[in-house]
Amino acid sequence: MERLTTIAALRQAVAGARARGASIGFVPTMGYLHEGHLRLIDEARRLTDVVVLSVFVNPLQFAPHEDLASYPRDLSGDVEKASTRGAGLLFVPDAREIYPREPRVRVVPGALAERWEGEVRPGHFAGVLTVVLKLLNIVQPDVVVFGQKDVQQATVVRAMVTDTDLPVRVVVAPTVRDADGLAMSSRNSYLTAAHRSEALVLSRALFAVRDAHGGGETDPERLLRVATRLLAASPEVAVDYLALADAETLEPVTRAARTGDVVLVAARVGGTRLIDNVILGWP
């Protein structure tokens, strides 16, 4: 695996791979890699010849009160994991490489980004889309792979790619969980053992909704009540939102479809903010 820190060097390495006839897959991350990220590499490898993995903690998507400074970092661990998993190029730019000046232009995400995460984190998706657009222009991959774990991010990115005719295929890979159900996240490293066990209520609540839906319930209010009851029993868990939405529009639904609607949850556990979701009708 080749490690590159400048846009020019990355472009040259990608051009070399292209000249050999290789197709290019791309997995953007903020690092502190876990199995969820590594499955995205697997998926990109399945679909393309050479996989570019980026590790960049994007300052533009953090609000001033958020965890930019304390976001977990472990570059040597990331290098080891990414290369073992078969990434061909590792792109690790610093903030000045990506933002040599305060960006004069940012991507406006539109209505898809206004609810849920967008409401709790104003400006977050503008920061995400701006860096994703830049990275897509730098790497120019055939395929870019995102995780279902951040469903709204994947939806908003897909909308940008479609609406601005970016020549890349967006693939979304399933959420990877620990054996006890907790969705893997770099931010799980913030959790104390006690908070980690409290955090399990998020996936349990989502699975309970999925089970109730599997049992034939289609009324959103009754479905969400199943989750609310579980969440309310955990005093350490402060819910930001819990919703049943259409997976494409992210608008709340008035009746759950047989498959494909998404149940979203975000909550703070201790000082750590976690998000998770499940798609109804999927295993």
* 37 contributes a contact to ligand AMP by CB under 6 A: yes
Measured distance CA(149)–CA(114) in Å, rounded: 18
Say if CB 143 and CB 168 are below 8 A apart.
yes
Kindly report each contact of residues 173-178 with a partner whose C-beta sits within 8 Å and lies 24 or more positions away, as own/partner.
173/39, 173/40, 173/43, 173/145, 173/146, 173/147, 173/148, 174/39, 174/147, 174/148, 175/36, 175/147, 175/148, 175/149, 175/276, 175/277, 176/34, 176/35, 176/36, 176/39, 176/147, 176/149, 177/203
Near ligand AMP in 4-33, by CB under 6 A: 29-30
Considering the rule CB under 6 A, would residue 183 count as an interface residue with ligand AMP?
A: yes
* Residue 226 binds to ligand AMP (criterion: CB under 6 A): no
Identify which range of 36-44, 82-90, 103-111, 161-169 contacts ligand AMP by CB under 6 A.
36-44
Site membership for ligand AMP, residue 157 (CB under 6 A): no
- Bridge partners, 46 (sequence order): none
Q: Smallest gap, in angstroms, from Cβ of residue 184 to ligand AMP?
A: 4
Q: Contacts with ligand AMP in 185-204 (CB under 6 A)?
A: 185-186
Known active-site residue 37: yes
Q: Which CB, 148 or 234, lies closer to ligand AMP?
A: 148
Choose between 125 and 146: whose C-beta lies nearer to ligand AMP: 146
Q: Which of 48, 152, 175, 234 lies at the binding interface for ligand AMP (CB under 6 A)?
A: 175
The least CB distance from residue 102 to ligand AMP, in Å, is 22
The stretch among 91-99, 162-170, 182-190, 264-272 that binds ligand AMP (CB under 6 A) is: 182-190
Site for ligand AMP contains 61 (CB under 6 A): no
Phi, psi (deg, nearest 5) at residue 248: -90, -45
- Per-position x/- string for 104-143, each x denoting binding to ligand AMP as judged by CB under 6 A, each - no binding: ----------------------------------------
If one asks whether residue 78 binds ligand AMP (CB under 6 A), the answer comes out as no
Query: For 36-41, which contacts have Cβ atoms below 8 Å and span 24 or more sequence positions?
Result: 36/147, 36/149, 36/175, 36/176, 36/183, 36/184, 36/185, 37/81, 37/147, 38/81, 38/82, 38/85, 39/173, 39/174, 39/176, 40/145, 40/146, 40/147, 40/173, 41/82, 41/85, 41/86, 41/87
Among 184, 227, 266, 274, binds ligand AMP (CB under 6 A): 184
Rounded to a whole number of angstroms, the minimum distance from the CB of residue 25 to ligand AMP is: 13
Report the candidate in 226, 211, 213 with the shortest Cα–Cα distance to residue 265.
226
Binding site for ligand AMP (CB under 6 A): 29-30, 36-37, 40, 146-147, 149-150, 173, 175-176, 183-186
Which are the catalytic amino acids? 37
